[in-house]
């Protein structure tokens, strides 16, 4: 019972991160606004692409670990990758984003990723 839940949550989180990464490639300004720090007009679009690539690769790596390495490797990955949304929380707060976005999206995501790690360790 615990194993399907652990894998299911990890897969959903990885797919969401892939979706977010792809959104930064195809709708960078909207994705940046959703992130909590809107992109400046005329700003360097390379940074939005970097954010998209970071998320896309993170999601693909998470799925690859689930598929080819098993629960322990995926759990360690989730534990470490939780630093990304924790860092995103700080970035949003430091750059004029709202507390609602910082904590309601990024911090909540970090908690969900940590729950996923715990479930994978238990699986």
Mean pLDDT of 51-61: 97
3-state secondary structure of 11: helix
- Are 120 and 54 in contact by the 8 Å Cβ rule? The answer is no
Q: Rounded distance, CA 89 to CA 98, Å?
A: 10
Q: Where are the domains of the chain?
A: 2-122
Residue 101 has pLDDT above 90, yes or no: yes
Contacts of 79 (CB under 8 A, 6+ apart): 114, 117
- pTM score: 0.92
What is the share, in percent, of the chain residues with pLDDT greater than 70?
A: 100
List pLDDT tens digits, range 15-47: 999 999 999 999 999 999 999 999 988 877 898
Lowest mean pLDDT among 34-38, 61-65, 74-78, 101-105: 34-38
- The pLDDT assigned to 1 comes to 73
pLDDT band at 68 (very low <50, low <70, confident <90, very high): very high
pLDDT band at 107 (very low <50, low <70, confident <90, very high): very high
DSSP 65-100: HHHHT-HHHHHHHHHHHTHHHHHHHHHHHHTT--HH
Q: What is the mean pLDDT of the chain?
A: 95
Q: Rounded distance, CA 55 to CA 22, Å?
A: 8
CB atoms within 10 A of CB 116: 28
- The pLDDT assigned to 44 comes to 78
């Amino acid at each position: 019972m615990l194993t399907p839940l652990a894998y299911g949550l990890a897969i959903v989180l990885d797919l969401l991160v892939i979706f977010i990464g792809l959104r930064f490639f195809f709708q960078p300004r909207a994705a940046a606004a959703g992130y909590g720090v809107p992109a400046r007009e005329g700003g360097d679009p390379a940074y939005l692409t970097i954010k998209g690539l970071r998320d896309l690769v993170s999601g693909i790596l998470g799925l690859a670990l689930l598929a080819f390495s098993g629960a322990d490797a995926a759990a360690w990955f989730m534990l470490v990758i939780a630093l990304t949304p924790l860092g995103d929380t700080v970035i949003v707060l430091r750059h004029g984003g709202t507390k609602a976005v910082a904590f309601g999206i990024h911090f909540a995501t970090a908690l969900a990723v940590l729950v996923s790690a715990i479930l994978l360790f238990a699986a």
